[in-house]
Amino acid sequence: MHIKEFQNLISRKYEKRDRERGTPRTFLWFIEEVGELATALASQDHKNKEEEFADVFAWLCTLANINDVNLEKSCTKYTSGKVKGLKPK
């Protein structure tokens, strides 16, 4: 599955409700999932890590959808070969 396909799946299932919730409240849900991922990463439970990565990605897609951002297109920043090296610290 391509990123765009997953983003569209999330859109079909949740976008109406997500747009009603709005970006600020949706972002809080996203951050909560990031916290759950942080906890999972500190554990030895690989299945839980997979679940939390999926949840974070789904909520990222939700945020992109309600802000009219195509994540697959956005990722061309990294796939186009134009990004060189790392940002300076």
Residue ranges and CATH numbers for the domains of the chain are 22-69 (1.10.287.1080)
Half-sphere exposure of 18 (CA within 13 A, CB side): 23
Q: What is the pLDDT of residues 30-64, one digit of tens each?
A: 999 999 999 999 999 999 999 999 999 999 999 99
Taking residues 18-35, report their average pLDDT.
98
Q: What are the φ/ψ torsions at residue 61 (nearest 5 degrees)?
A: -60, -40
| Contact assessment for residue 9 and residue 65, using Cβ atoms and an 8 Å cutoff | no
Q: What are the φ/ψ torsions at residue 88 (nearest 5 degrees)?
A: -65, 150
